[in-house]
């Protein structure tokens, strides 16, 4: 199960250890670099800029210094990120959250798919997580997905920020932050659709997956390019809302794992059990794939065999052991 947003708070992905997992790190870092070339700002800086848990400051600083020295993190892009999103309320700027989510979520989907090569898994994505699933399945290029997220995300962001009675830039910022926060927590409803011209071209996914426009909707299996195109047209900001979920009820998989950060409100639906497992860290995801997801394999059909004739034998006597 892949909810619309993976992160809830700044620096969550860093705190959960995904940047310490080498295979996940390769994809995350590569897609951060690709996204920065398109946006002009840096996802890593955006994701960690307003970190409130100072325990991770040293780790964030070490990663930043390493990537700058290696040329994987542009200082110009980091500076631009601080200029555009330097205020605390900027973390819920919708277009930026969409790009941040796309980088992390598509990379983690790739990681799980690679590790689950011999496990019969099928993903079920909700709402804007569709972009990540289409990228991971090769249906949409990452660059096209980023450009599309920026387009309709900017439209959503402008609508939300201008919908209140705020007059100053700061008032608009906090108003938009509050609306998005309440939406994610399920305390309000907000529906904004996408324009067809903002959507990327899509081909058939290499691996079919289930898709629901919101957590309340029944899932549809995405197998063809037409399925993917129709699904993209149903994208809506309302999918970010945490609400009672119908997710997984139509799928016939008995084992479910939730690819979501533990602080996200939808993580409350997850329980550390065989049928509802939280894939929040590399260790937990690996444990799920190695020991739990395999329980969902199809049963092996055993052919009937003739009963074996048991020969009558004398019972073997036990050896009597005595002490010294």
* Mean pLDDT confidence for 246-258: 58
Rounded to an integer, the average pLDDT of 116-124 is 83
Query: Which carries the bigger pLDDT value, residue 163 or residue 321?
Result: 163
Which pLDDT score is estimated for 36? Answer: 95
* Continuous H helices in the chain: 12-15, 22-39, 43-48, 57-70, 75-84, 94-115, 129-136, 142-161, 169-184, 225-233, 282-287
Quote the tokens at residue 191.
Answer: 């529906």
What angle in degrees, to the nearest 10, is found between the helix axes of 142-161 and 22-39?
60
| Residue tagged 């659709």 (tokens) | 193
pLDDT at 252: 47
Angle between helix 94-115 and 129-136 (nearest 10) = 40
Give the chain's domains with CATH numbers.
Answer: 91-296 (3.40.366)
In the predicted model, is pLDDT for residue 317 greater than 90? no
pLDDT of 246 reads 55
Q: Is the pLDDT of residue 142 over 70?
A: yes
Query: pTM for this one?
Result: 0.85
pLDDT of res. 83? 96
Q: Which two tokens stand for residue 56?
A: 């991770």
Average pLDDT, the chain: 85
184-217 confidence digits (pLDDT tens): 998 888 899 999 999 999 999 999 999 999 988 8
Q: Sorting pLDDT into bands at 50, 70 and 90, what band is 302?
A: very low
Say how far apart CA 161 and CA 169 lie, in whole Å.
Answer: 9
Alpha-carbon distance values, 309 to 1, 187, 306, 313 (Å): 50, 69, 9, 12
Helix (H, G, I), strand (E, B) or coil at 74: coil
CA angle 286, 291, 294 (to 5 degrees): 105
Looking at residue 22, its pLDDT comes to: 87
Is the predicted pLDDT of residue 313 greater than 70, yes or no?
Answer: no
pLDDT digits (tens, 9 = 90+) for 14-23: 888 888 888 8
Flag whether pLDDT at 298 surpasses 50.
Answer: no
Binning pLDDT at 50, 70 and 90, where does residue 162 land? confident
State the pLDDT confidence band at 109, using cuts at 50, 70 and 90: very high
Is the per-residue pLDDT at 179 higher than 60? yes
The residue with tokens 């993976």 is 6
Give the model confidence (pLDDT) of 211-249 as tens digits.
999 988 889 999 999 999 999 999 999 999 987 555 544
Q: Which residue has the higher pLDDT, 188 or 95?
A: 95
Which of 93-97, 269-273, 291-295 reaches the highest mean pLDDT? 93-97
Q: Is the pLDDT of residue 308 over 50?
A: no
């Amino acid at each position: 199960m892949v909810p619309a947003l993976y992160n809830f708070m700044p620096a969550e992905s860093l705190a959960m250890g995904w940047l310490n997992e080498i295979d996940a790190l390769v994809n995350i870092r590569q897609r951060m670099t690709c996204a920065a070339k398109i946006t002009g700002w840096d996802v890593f800086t955006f994701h960690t800029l307003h970190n409130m848990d100072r325990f991770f400051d040293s780790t964030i600083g070490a990663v930043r210094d390493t990537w700058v020295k290696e040329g994987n993190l542009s200082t110009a892009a980091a500076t631009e990120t601080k200029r555009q999103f330097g205020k605390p309320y900027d973390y819920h700027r919708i277009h930026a959250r969409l790009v941040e989510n796309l980088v992390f979520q598509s990379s983690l989907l790739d990681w799980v798919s690679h590790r689950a090569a011999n496990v019969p898994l099928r993903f079920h994505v909700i709402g804007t997580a569709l972009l990540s699933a289409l990228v991971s399945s090769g249906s949409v290029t990452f660059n096209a997905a980023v450009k599309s997220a920026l387009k309709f995300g900017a439209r959503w962001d402008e609508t939300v920020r201008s919908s209140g009675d705020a007059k100053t830039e700061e008032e608009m910022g906090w108003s938009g932050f509050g609306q998005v926060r309440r939406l994610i927590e399920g305390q309000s409803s907000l529906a904004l659709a996408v324009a067809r011209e903002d959507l990327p071209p899509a081909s058939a996914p290499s691996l079919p997956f289930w898709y629901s426009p919101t957590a309340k909707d029944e899932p549809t299996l995405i197998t063809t390019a037409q399925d993917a195109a129709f699904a993209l047209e149903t994208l809506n900001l309302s999918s970010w809302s945490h609400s009672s979920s119908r997710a997984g009820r139509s799928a016939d998989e008995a084992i479910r794992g939730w690819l979501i950060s533990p602080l996200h409100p939808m993580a409350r639906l997850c329980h550390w059990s065989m049928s509802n497992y939280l894939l929040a860290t590399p260790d937990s995801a690996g444990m799920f794939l190695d020991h739990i997801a395999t329980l969902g394999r199809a049963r092996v059909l055993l052919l009937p065999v003739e009963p074996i004739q048991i020969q009558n034998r004398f019972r073997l006597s036990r050896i009597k052991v005595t002490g010294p």
